[in-house]
């Protein structure tokens, strides 16, 4: 099971990373980033999954229950990923309002020009 | 333990209150500092009696969250408290309530990294730190700041995903998230999935910690943001990643890995600093270079080496923040130093630059001398000696270049432009070496003042100055390449660095 989990995770992370590096569009970069983030969540779910596990709440007589630690962990990381995504969308919005483009190469060029202009 | 938790609580309340009642934002922040510093003083007193403590929050056994109080914790917490005081004095009520709220939240997160002793707690606190840091980088909403923040955000979020995957792998092997128990259950285990997991975790922390190949976002973010934010980021925010690496080094013997990373980081940072010609850029690259010393200290693997690394972490935070504040108070941070005759700095900024530079060059009575000498004692491989010598030389060269332009060539501003907070910080940094010497115990460190030690440490800047006199023109024609620091290339170099880590871990 865990080999399967590792393989799936590596494939999805690589797909996301390729998108992050090769795509010039900022929104596509954010999409790729959230693919990578989702892959980590999938990884945790697959790693701790055992058939026949019960929820770790209820009467103490349940013998085989799911490990509660990764669940707490995944919940927290989902929230953090949400925050990161919201913040990066905000930043993208500011950049688009300023330069009217999503192309990162152009944005980098404009930013450099503007910085040199302001500080000289 | 309660003292440090009181510090976190008082920072959170200071942040919330200065957001709600923005009229009294400055006083709430001062109260937050008061709470944190008195809590820290209490913890230091307890620490002197009882030594290092690991205790668990909550009584859930395996699920409890560990916190640890040792020298590293206390040195880092005192760095946070000191920087808080002096940046607050520097702000003097400028800026609105939102800024103070973010400022206090940054302090909260960094302060709570200091005693996190649990893999997941480290993740949460460090991620909290970078979210707040990014908001602060883009606070003035200038386009270049937003771009620097977005770059930091994308790279660090990717890195933290890698950290989480590594955490999952380590958890599957070890069965714990608490570092103390995990170290016991991982003992003697050298499986491939453990190596992979630890490599992923180090790569994730390295992105936050300012290590070359990983932290290519750093020069832009630290030099484009405003003065106080630069000082806080360079002084303490990047240190949280390094604290994470110090904690991980309890789990595993890194061997040569951190030494190699430290050497690359130190030398490349110094090289780029030497080539750049804007004070804030020089200081940002110099931060990368100084992280090299800390990694060398952790890489020695001895507890004295880690103490030296923690001391360096504290001292670097102090003098780097002082340098940023002195440059920023004079408003010359983004100016080109090749035309320094047109710049003018007030006297306090010049004094701050001088004291900060004497510290960064490790001239004997100043603070970095102690950490560097303690570190040099722990190094027992010849190539690391040579690397440290080269790093010292590079540091001396870029510092002297900066000082020559900003202290000697530039004009002195009239008296009314002096900034008392920078003056106070200068005095504090100048005295901090002496304080550290007394705290370390004067009798067992008196050998640091042996004549051959002193001769080496004084001759390094002299040689650096001579080289600069000879080749200074050559260096000022160069400028650091910008392509490694673009977003795409920074991500490629992150993956490249990760592969490098795995190769070193598996083969050496």
Q: How far is the alpha carbon of B62 from chain A, nearest alpha carbon, in Å?
A: 9
Confidence band of B62 (pLDDT split at 50, 70, 90): low
Tokens representing B117 are 């002793």
Instruction: Give kind and range of the element (H or E) at residue B54.
Output: strand B53-57
Helix (H, G, I), strand (E, B) or coil at B21: coil
Instruction: State the Cα–Cα distance between residues B261 and B263, nearest whole angstrom.
Output: 6
Reply yes or no on whether the pLDDT at B267 is more than 90.
yes
- Average pLDDT along chain A: 86
Place of tokens 């490349």: B268
Contact status, residue B394 vs residue B267, Cβ threshold 8 Å: yes
Comparing A38 with B175, the larger pLDDT belongs to A38
**Least CA distance to A81: which residue of chain B?**
B157
Residue A58 parent element (H or E): none
Facing residue for A91 by CB, picked from B138, B336, B495: B138
Sequence spans of domains, chain A: 2-56+65-119
Q: What is the pLDDT of residue B293?
A: 94
| pLDDT above 80: residue B442 | no
Q: How confident is the model at residue A84 (pLDDT cuts 50, 70, 90)?
A: very high
Taking residues B73-100, report their average pLDDT. 92
**pLDDT of res. B21:** 92
With an 8 Å Cβ cutoff, is B65 touching chain A? no
The set of residues, in sequence order, having a beta carbon less than 8 Å from that of B13 and lying 6+ positions away, is B28, B32
Give the separation between CA A110 and CA B143, rounded to whole angstroms: 9
Share of chain B above pLDDT 70, in %: 99
CB atoms within 10 A of CB B141: 9
- In terms of Cα–Cα distance, which of B289, B422, B305, B256 is closest to B353? B422
Q: CA angle at residue B336 from B277 to B139, to 5 degrees? A: 95
Picking from A36, A70, A87, the nearest residue to B161 by CB comes out as A36
B284 CB neighbours in chain A (<8 A) are: none
pLDDT of amino acid A59: 67
Q: Is B346 helix (H, G, I), strand (E, B) or coil?
A: coil
B495's tokens: 């993956």
For chain A, give the percent of residues with pLDDT over 70. 92
8 Å CB contact of A87 and B134: yes
Kindly tell me if the per-residue pLDDT of A1 is higher than 60: no
Cα distance between residue B216 and residue B182, in whole Å: 32
Average pLDDT over residues B187-204: 88
The CATH number of A2-56+65-119 is: 1.10.287.3510
pLDDT of residue B444: 74
Cβ proximity of B265 and B291 under 8 Å? yes
End-to-end CA distance of chain B: 39
**Considering only alpha carbons, which residue of chain B is nearest residue A114?**
B144
Contacting A residues, span 39-98, partner chain B, CB-CB under 8 Å: 39-40, 43-44, 47, 68-70, 73, 76-77, 80-81, 83-84, 87-88, 91-92, 94-95, 98
ipTM associated with this complex: 0.93
pLDDT digits (tens, 9 = 90+) for B206-249: 999 989 999 999 999 998 898 999 999 999 999 999 999 999 99
Helix (H, G, I), strand (E, B) or coil at B116: strand
For residue B411, the SS3 value is: strand
């Amino acid at each position: 099971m865990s080999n399967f989990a590792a393989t799936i995770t590596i494939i999805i992370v690589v797909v996301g990373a390729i998108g992050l590096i090769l795509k010039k569009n900022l929104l596509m970069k954010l999409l790729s980033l959230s693919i990578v983030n989702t892959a980590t969540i999938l990884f945790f779910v697959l790693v701790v999954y055992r058939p026949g596990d019960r929820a770790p709440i209820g009467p103490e007589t349940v013998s085989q229950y799911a490990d509660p630690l990764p669940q707490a962990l995944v919940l927290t990381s989902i929230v953090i990923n949400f925050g990161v995504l919201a913040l990066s969308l905000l930043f993208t919005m500011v950049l688009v309002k300023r330069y009217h483009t999503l192309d990162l190469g152009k944005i980098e060029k404009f930013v450099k020009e503007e910085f040199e202009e302001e500080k000289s | 333990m309660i003292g440090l938790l009181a510090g976190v609580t008082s920072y959170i309340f200071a942040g919330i209150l200065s957001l709600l009642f923005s009229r009294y934002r400055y006083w709430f922040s001062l109260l937050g500092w008061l709470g944190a510093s008195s809590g820290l003083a209490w913890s230091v007193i307890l620490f002197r009696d009882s030594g290092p403590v690991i205790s668990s929050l909550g009584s859930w056994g395996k699920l409890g969250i560990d916190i640890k109080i040792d020298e590293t914790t206390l040195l880092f917490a005192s760095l946070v408290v000191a920087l808080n005081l002096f940046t607050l004095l520097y702000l003097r009520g400028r800026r609105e309530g939102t800024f103070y709220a973010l400022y206090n939240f940054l302090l909260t997160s960094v302060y709570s990294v200091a005693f996190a002793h649990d893999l997941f707690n480290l993740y949460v606190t460090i991620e909290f730190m970078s979210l707040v840091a990014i908001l602060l980088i883009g606070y003035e909403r200038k386009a270049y700041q937003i771009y620097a923040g977005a770059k930091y955000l994308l790279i660090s979020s990717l890195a933290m995903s890698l950290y989480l995957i590594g955490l999952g792998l380590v958890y599957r092997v070890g069965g714990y998230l608490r570092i103390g128990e995990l170290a016991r259950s991982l003992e003697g285990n050298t499986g491939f999935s453990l190596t992979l997991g630890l490599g992923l975790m180090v790569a994730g922390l390295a992105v936050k910690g300012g290590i070359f190949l990983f932290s290519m976002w750093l020069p832009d973010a630290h030099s484009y943001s405003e003065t106080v934010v630069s000082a806080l980021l360079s002084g303490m925010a990047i240190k949280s990643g390094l604290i994470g690496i110090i904690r991980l080094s309890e789990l595993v013997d890194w061997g040569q890995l951190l030494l190699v990373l430290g050497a690359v980081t130190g030398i490349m940072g110094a090289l780029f600093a030497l080539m750049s010609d804007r004070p804030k850029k020089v200081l940002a690259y110099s931060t990368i270079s100084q992280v090299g010393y800390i990694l060398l200290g952790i890489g020695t693997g001895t507890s004295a080496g880690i103490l030296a690394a923690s001391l360096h972490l504290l001292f670097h935070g102090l003098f780097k923040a002082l340098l940023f504040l002195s440059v920023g108070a004079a408003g010359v941070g983004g100016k080109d130093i090749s035309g320094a005759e047109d710049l003018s700095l007030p006297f306090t900024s010049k004094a701050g630059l001088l004291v900060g530079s004497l510290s960064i060059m490790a001239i004997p009575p100043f603070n970095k001398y102690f950490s560097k000498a303690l570190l040099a004692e722990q190094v027992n491989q010849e190539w690391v000696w040579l690397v440290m010598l080269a790093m010292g030389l590079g540091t001396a060269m870029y510092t002297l270049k900066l000082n020559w332009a900003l202290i000697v060539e530039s004009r002195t501003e009239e008296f009314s432009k002096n900034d008392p907070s920078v003056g106070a910080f200068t005095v504090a940094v100048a005295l901090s070496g002496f304080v550290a010497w007394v705290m370390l115990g004067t009798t067992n460190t008196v050998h640091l003042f042996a004549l051959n030690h002193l001769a080496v440490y004084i001759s390094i800047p002299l040689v650096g100055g001579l080289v600069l006199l000879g080749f200074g023109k050559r260096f000022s024609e160069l400028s650091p390449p910008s392509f490694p620091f673009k977003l795409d290339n920074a991500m490629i170099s992150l993956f490249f660095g990760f592969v490098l880590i795995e190769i070193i871990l598996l083969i050496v």
